[in-house]
Each structure stands twice: as structure tokens, then as C-alpha cells.
Amino acid sequence: MDHNLFLRRRAERFAQLLEEANGCRRHRVRSRRDDELVTLVAVGRRLTVDRPVPKVDADFRTSLRARLIATAEREGIGAEVIAPTDADVVRPPIAAAVRTPRLPAVTARRARARLAIFSGIAVGAIAVSGISAASENALPGDALYGMKRSTERAQLALAGSDLNRGQLFLDFARTRVDEAATLRGNHVRYDAVLDDMDNGTRQGVRTLLNAVAQRSDPAGLDLVDAFLDSQRQAVDGLLDAAPRSQRDRTRSSLGLLDAVGERSTALRTALDCAEPKVVGFDGLGPIPAACTSPR
């Protein structure tokens, strides 16, 4: 028991040090294990900044994708689920239902925790096996597109800090632009992808700007501004060959990027203000106050 407690505290302290290295608030504690964890923190920080890009052989990716699609079609993965009718549902006798004991809250929490752990293990196994690489070029409607989005959600769940999580949201918004470029002939899917893109933009911006307001650190603003530079060009490119029916929807996404740019500029100004910096919150995060007395 003592050994397990030691390992758990060591892991918790490592997580705190890694969050601090990634820009999170510093914990006002000092542990004798810090010196032992310095090397691991440096490795974790290097993996965060210089994320290794896996290289997958093109032939392997093609063959794996074909096998996965064949398996998905054979097993009915992605097929529409038909809700059972009342005649199909077998209901237990009332007496049996009364005798069924309820799980205590602690047991339920443990079950959810175990499920989360098993889910993380499953995600790791998926990434190692190459399924993520096979699904990275999947488009809405493809059998592997659900796997692609599940991999993105797993990355968000494993993000070590708000800055990393916000950056991931914006990276996925960039991915949605590439998908939209291939779906210009499909009005329904094109609009759906842009909806997902705008949602990712809002979530990423809100996460980063909240971190900026809490820490008075402009690092999140730099990430937002870099995103805007590339994203505006990409969305502008969608307008060039978009049918007239899709141009209004594309301009709506450009309008969102303009609003994000204005919010980022206003918050950057508010950081240099001696007065309260935030007066409220909305879908883009903190609303900066007008600055009348700069520092």
C-alpha cells in the first residue's frame, strides 16, 4: 500500500511539474522528488514543443485502410441503427426490478474511472496499430471518419494544459478547412464541416483567451494570432471555387475570424491596462474592458 501511495504521489507531482513547464499556474509546493523528475519533465516538454511526426509507409496505409473499410462494412460499423419497437423490448417482471440493488455512488465512480483508463489504453493501442494514420485523410461519409474524430477527442482528453488543449482545437479547425475544400460539390456536408470548423475555432479561442485572462500572459494570444493568419488565407481559398449557394456560408466563417481578431487585439490592449481587464464572458471567452488608464 505504501509503495502504491508513493508511486501515485510521484505521478501526481510529475503531472504538476509538466503543467508548469507548459505554462500553467505554478503550484506552491516543493517536493524532494523534483530533482529526480527534472529529466522526465524536460523530455515531456520537448515532446510537447517538437511533437514527433510519425512516418507511415504509403503502401501500408493504403492496404490497412482497405482492410479497415472492408471490416467496417462487414461488421456494419457506421450503419444506421434502427430503434427497437415495443414488441422487441423484453421487460423484466416488476418484482425482479424491485429486487435489483442499486450500485453505490462510489462503485459507480470507480466504474467510470476504470472505463476512462480502459478507454485511454484503447486509444493508445489504436494509435500504435496505425489506424489513426489510416484514418487521417478520411472525409465525412467515409467509414473511417468516426475513427478520425474519436482520435481527435482522445488527443483533447490527454492534453496537458489549457494552452495545449486550445491549440489542438485550432489545429482541428484547420483540418476542417482541408475537408471542406474537397466537399464543395456537396452542399449539406460542406455546411456541416464548416459548422464543425467554426465550433472548433470558438472552443479553441475561448480556451486560450480564458488562460490569457487568468494568468495575464499573452502566450495564448500569440497562438490565436498565428492561427488567424493561416486560417483566413485557407477560408479565403474556399471562396474562389465555391458555388454561389456556398459563398454566404463561407463568408460567415470569415466573419467569425474577424470577430476573433478584434477580440484578440482588445484583450492584448487590456493586458497593459491598470484597470480591471475583463467585464464579462461570451462564446469567444473573456470580454475585455475599455482601457482608460494604460500602465
179 and 269 in one domain? Answer: yes
117-140: pLDDT as tens digits: 555 555 554 544 455 666 677 888
287 and 180 in one domain? Answer: yes
pLDDT recorded at residue 131: 59
Q: Are 134 and 142 in contact (CB under 8 A)?
A: no
Distance CA 136, CA 43 (A): 26
98-107: pLDDT as tens digits: 444 554 555 6
Q: Is the dihedral of CA 126, 127, 128, 132 positive or negative?
A: positive
Distance CA 34, CA 132 (A): 35
pLDDT > 90? residue 223: yes
239 and 209 in one domain? Answer: yes
Segment (H or E) for 240: helix 219-241
Tell me whether residue 82 is in a domain.
no
DSSP H helix total and E strand total for the chain:
11, 2
20-48: pLDDT as tens digits: 776 666 665 666 666 666 777 677 666 66
Q: Are 206 and 165 in contact (CB under 8 A)?
A: no
Distance CA 215, CA 221 (A): 12
pTM across the whole model = 0.58
Burial readout 98-109 (b: 16 or more C-beta within 10 A, e: otherwise): eeeeeeeeeeee
Which residue type is seen at 219?
Answer: A
Where is average pLDDT lowest: 54-68, 262-276, 277-291?
A: 54-68
Please count the residues of the chain.
Answer: 295
Tell me whether residue 94 is in a domain.
no
Distance CA 108, CA 111 (A): 5
248-278: pLDDT as tens digits: 999 999 999 999 999 999 999 888 886 767 8
Q: What would the mean pLDDT of 183-208 be, rounded to a whole number?
A: 92
Note down the domain range covering 2. Answer: 1-52
294 and 204 in one domain? Answer: yes
164 and 154 in one domain? Answer: no
pLDDT recorded at residue 173: 96
pLDDT recorded at residue 107: 61
265 and 197 in one domain? Answer: yes
Tell me whether residue 91 is in a domain.
no
Q: What would the mean pLDDT of 79-90 be, rounded to a whole number?
A: 52
DSSP strands (E only) in the chain? 278-282, 285-288
pLDDT recorded at residue 23: 64
Q: Are 25 and 215 in contact (CB under 8 A)?
A: yes
pLDDT recorded at residue 129: 47
Joined grid coordinates for residue 192: 456541416
272 and 186 in one domain? Answer: yes
Q: Are 204 and 227 in contact (CB under 8 A)?
A: yes
pLDDT > 80? residue 204: yes
- In DSSP terms, 294 is beta-bridged to 273
115 and 27 in one domain? Answer: no
170 and 143 in one domain? Answer: no
Q: What would the mean pLDDT of 41-57 be, rounded to a whole number?
A: 63
234 and 171 in one domain? Answer: yes
Burial readout 148-162 (b: 16 or more C-beta within 10 A, e: otherwise): bbbbbebbeeebbbb
Joined grid coordinates for residue 161: 494544459
Tell me whether residue 239 is in a domain.
yes
How many structural domains comprise the chain?
A: 3
47 and 123 in one domain? Answer: no
Joined grid coordinates for residue 121: 489504453
